[in-house]
Amino acid sequence: MKIQFPSFNICIANIPYGISSRLIAKLLFGSYQFRTATLLLQKEFACRLTALPGDSEYNRFAANIRLVAEAELIMDVSKTDFAPVPKVDSSLVKIRTRNGGIIPEDLKEWYGFTRVCYSKKNKTLGAIFKQENMVLELFKRSRSKKKNCINGEFVNVVDLESDGEGESEEKEIKQVDPHELDLFKEKIGKVLENVGFNKKKHSNITNEDLSCLLRAFNQEGVFFQ
């Protein structure tokens, strides 16, 4: 995975299934410009990769991939078609890159946001964002984002929080004003209500809708990275 690939236009590969997600992310979010990648993948992974909004299998990885590409199931391949016979069935998937996708300006913020939205499979967004631990974590991140805004440019908060996480986090929790935290929780609830996503599940929401919700949160000072 550390190797840089040469320039290519079309990729056709039978890859080790254990690197499927990392390889696809490397192809699509690296510096490579290509038209299609046709890959043989484990069937369960292929189902998640090709899932669409509204499907029960729709997930965070599929949402992130759909920022820049479309994944299509070509055919299933039974494990009995191989010798020796493996333990899992496979599927052939074609990935087509597309121009004009909805790519957020801050991908790290998007990744942090979708990590929250897809953290609980069967819960509504309203239920996910009401969790006390979630509210506290977003409160700390949003407060750090404001503190580390220097001359209009944001410092990478992730780097600043990487050392001494346990001790500093415990001190920070003790310093949180309960009233301020309640106001922050109300702010999150109002954003969800105003955008109309309070009772929706992430599996039914498109990237366009998610982008709209992320902008609404950021405009109210709620940040995810």
Residues making up the binding site for S-adenosyl-L-methionine: 1, 14
Residues making up the binding site: 1, 14
**Does residue 66 contact residue 88 with C-beta atoms inside 8 Å?**
no
Q: How far apart are CA 225 and CA 223, in angstroms?
A: 6
Strand partners, 58: none
Q: Which of 79, 1, 10 is nearest to 42 (CA)?
A: 79
DSSP label at residue 143: H
Q: Which of 80, 101, 100 is nearest to 90 (CA)?
A: 80
Q: Which of 43, 185, 79 is nearest to 126 (CA)?
A: 185
Q: Which of 22, 66, 74 is nearest to 43 (CA)?
A: 74
